[in-house]
Amino acid sequence: MGSDTITLLSSREIEKMRQAGSLAAALLDHLEPMIKPGVSTLELDNEAERWTQAHGATSAPLGYHGFPKSICTSVNEVVCHGIPNGKQILKDGDIMNIDVTPILDGYHGDTSRTFFVGTPSARAKKLVEVTEECLMKGIAAVKPGGRIGDIGAAIQEYAEANGFSVVRDFVGHGINRVFHTAPQIPHYGKQGKGKRLRSGMVFTIEPMINEGTWEAQMLDDGWTAITKDGKLSAQFEHTLAVTGDGVEILTRSD
Ligand code: MF3
Ligand code: CO
Ligand code: CO
């Protein structure tokens, strides 16, 4: 199948995605109490890997195109794909996105949240709250017969109305037995544009929202993307299925 062919999943396959997705959400729930000043991002990675294996799953990021760790930890100005590191110690006032993708019985559950380390600044708190709202507005725009552009339009409108910007260089993606596949889901765009949404499509929505410029740049490690102006960036992600009459979040925490 060509890489722009969108796979429609059967209800049996969606049940597999639901199980992987619920494990991914439970992993974030498990890591959350560890997020405190003084902890290193490597300690979070080690615990994520241990917990994932203990639940009969594997970590999709580990070795993915050479990515060296099991989760992504993106602190403050890091937009996405931050690499856990024993020398990176969290401090009071940081914000950190943790992005996890366990593979359970062949299927991927991909979700991320931005957490506060200790007490956030008012500005950081607003950015993180608006970013989570952006994800929920993008999800609310999903229904069979709608268009992919409806999602980005809803996200961009809310982010920009709040004085923030939407990262262009990274997009949501189709996901199933394959980690990243068609369709691409931009987090900006125009309502009514793009491919039609159909029941059985499964993809992520994962807006990265910046305090300042939307522009990102890559560090020399080839993975870590940071904001060009060094200001904060936040992200939330869910894996979703388009249903007969709307949308189901597959990575909801119970
Ligand atoms: N989980 C990320 C996403 O949402 C991808 C991480 S790929 C890695 O698509 F190699 F950086 F881990
Ligand atoms: Co993703
Ligand atoms: Co992810």
Q: Whose CA is nearest to atom 2 of ligand 1?
A: 99
Average per-residue pLDDT for the chain:
98
Task: Quickly tell me which residue has 């807006």 as its tokens.
Answer: 207
Does ligand 1 lie within 6 Å of residue 81's CB atom? yes
Q: Could you tell me how many residues make up the chain?
A: 254
Does ligand 1 lie within 6 Å of residue 45's CB atom? no
pLDDT value at residue 254: 86
Determine, yes or no, domain membership for 227: yes
Does ligand 1 lie within 6 Å of residue 101's CB atom? yes
Separation in Å, CA 146 to CA 48, 110, 187, 195, 199: 36, 23, 15, 8, 11
Q: Whose CA is nearest to atom 7 of ligand 1?
A: 61
Half-sphere exposure of 184 (CA within 13 A, CB side): 10
Task: Quickly tell me which residue has 């639901």 as its tokens.
Answer: 18
How far apart CA 160 and CA 198 sit, in angstroms, is: 28
Does ligand 1 lie within 6 Å of residue 150's CB atom? no
Residue 213 has pLDDT above 90, yes or no: yes
Mean pLDDT of 188-198: 98
Determine, yes or no, domain membership for 30: yes
How far apart CA 63 and CA 173 sit, in angstroms, is: 19
pLDDT value at residue 3: 74
Rg (CA), the chain: 17
Does ligand 1 lie within 6 Å of residue 110's CB atom? yes
Does ligand 1 lie within 6 Å of residue 113's CB atom? no
pLDDT tens figures, 52-102: 999 999 999 999 999 999 999 999 999 999 999 999 999 999 999 999 999
Determine, yes or no, domain membership for 237: yes
Determine, yes or no, domain membership for 6: no
Does ligand 1 lie within 6 Å of residue 69's CB atom? no
Does ligand 1 lie within 6 Å of residue 102's CB atom? no
Residue 2 has pLDDT above 70, yes or no: no
Q: Which ligand minimizes its atom distance to the CA of 112? A: 3
Q: How many domains does the chain have?
A: 1
pLDDT tens figures, 104-125: 999 999 999 999 999 999 999 9
Q: In angstroms, what is the span from residue 135 Cα to ligand 2's centroid?
A: 13
Determine, yes or no, domain membership for 5: no
Structure letter (DSSP) for residue 147? B
pLDDT tens figures, 130-156: 999 999 999 999 999 999 999 999 999
How far apart CA 99 and CA 93 sit, in angstroms, is: 19
Residue 1 has pLDDT above 60, yes or no: no
pLDDT value at residue 156: 99
Determine, yes or no, domain membership for 171: yes
Helix, strand or coil for residue 38?
Answer: coil
Determine, yes or no, domain membership for 210: yes
Q: Quote the domain boundaries for residue 81.
A: 11-249
Residue 30 has pLDDT above 60, yes or no: yes
Per-residue confidence band for 194, with pLDDT thresholds at 50, 70 and 90: very high
CATH number of the domain to which 98 belongs? 3.90.230.10
Given a contact cutoff of 8 angstroms between Cβ atoms, the answer to whether 249 and 139 are in contact is: yes
Residues bordering ligand 2, an ion, CB closer than 5 Å: 110, 204, 206
Residues bordering ligand 3, an ion, CB closer than 5 Å: 99, 110, 112, 237
Q: Tell me the one-letter amino acid at 147.
A: R
How far apart CA 242 and CA 215 sit, in angstroms, is: 30
Determine, yes or no, domain membership for 2: no
Residue 239 has pLDDT above 70, yes or no: yes
- Which ligand 1 atom lies nearest to the CA of residue 65? 10
Mean pLDDT of 218-226: 98
